[in-house]
Structure 1
Amino acid sequence: MQKIAISCPPAAPMIVGTISVPAGPVMGLCQDRLVNAAHIINAARSFGIGTHTQAIGVMTALGESGLQNLSHGDSAGPDSRGLFQQRANGAWGTLAQRMDPYTSARNFFAALVRVPGWKTLSPTEAAHRVQVNADPNHYTPFWSDAVAIVTALSR
Structure 2
Amino acid sequence: MYLTTRKRAATSPTSPKKAATFPTAPKKALWTRAVAMAIVVTGTTAAYAAPAAAAGTDPIPASVTAAVSASKAASEAADEQALGLDEMQLANARTIVEVGLDLGLSQRAMIIAVATAMQESALYNLASTALPESYDYDHDSDGSDHDSIGLFQQRPSAGWGTVAEIMDPAYAAKAFYQALQRVDGWATMALTVAAQAVQVSAYPDAYAEHESAATKVVTTLLS
| RMSD, aligned CA | 2.6
In structure 2, stretches of 5+ residues that fail to align are 1-18, 24-28, 36-71, 129-142
Amino acid at match of 1:135: Y
Larger radius of gyration: 2
Aligned residue among 21, 28, 36 for 1:3: 21
Which deviations, in whole Å up to 9, do the C-alpha atoms of 1:103-137 show, x marking residues without a partner? Answer: 10000000000111111211111110000011210
Q: Given the alignment of the two structures, is residue 31 of structure 1 paired with residue 49 of structure 2, yes or no?
A: no
Q: In 2, distance between residues paired with 1:4 and 1:22?
A: 15
In the alignment, which residue of structure 2 is the partner of 1:8? Answer: none
Distance 1:137 1:16, change over 3 A: farther
Compute the displacement of 1:2 (Å): 7.6
Which deviations, in whole Å up to 9, do the C-alpha atoms of 1:75-115 show, x marking residues without a partner? Answer: xx310000001012252111111111111000000000011
Q: Given the alignment of the two structures, is residue 136 of structure 1 paired with residue 192 of structure 2, yes or no?
A: no
Distance 1:138 1:71, change over 3 A: same
Which deviations, in whole Å up to 9, do the C-alpha atoms of 1:35-58 show, x marking residues without a partner? Answer: 100110111112211111101000
Q: Given the alignment of the two structures, is residue 22 of structure 1 paired with residue 90 of structure 2, yes or no?
A: no
Conserved 8 A contact 1:17-1:39: no
Q: Which moved more, 1:26-35 or 1:118-127?
A: 26-35
In structure 1, stretches of 5+ residues that fail to align are 6-12
SS at match of 1:134: coil
Distance 1:3 1:118, change over 3 A: closer
In the alignment, which residue of structure 2 is the partner of 1:95? Answer: 163
Q: After TM superposition, which residue ranges in structure 1, 4 or more long, deviate above 4 angstroms?
A: 13-21
What's the TM-score once normalised by structure 1's chain length?
0.83
Identity value in percent: 38
Q: In 1, distance between residues paired with 2:187 and 2:22?
A: 33
Count the aligned residue pairs.
146
In the alignment, which residue of structure 2 is the partner of 1:55? Answer: 111
What's the TM-score once normalised by structure 2's chain length?
0.59
In the alignment, which residue of structure 1 is the partner of 2:99? Answer: 43
Conserved 8 A contact 1:68-1:83: yes
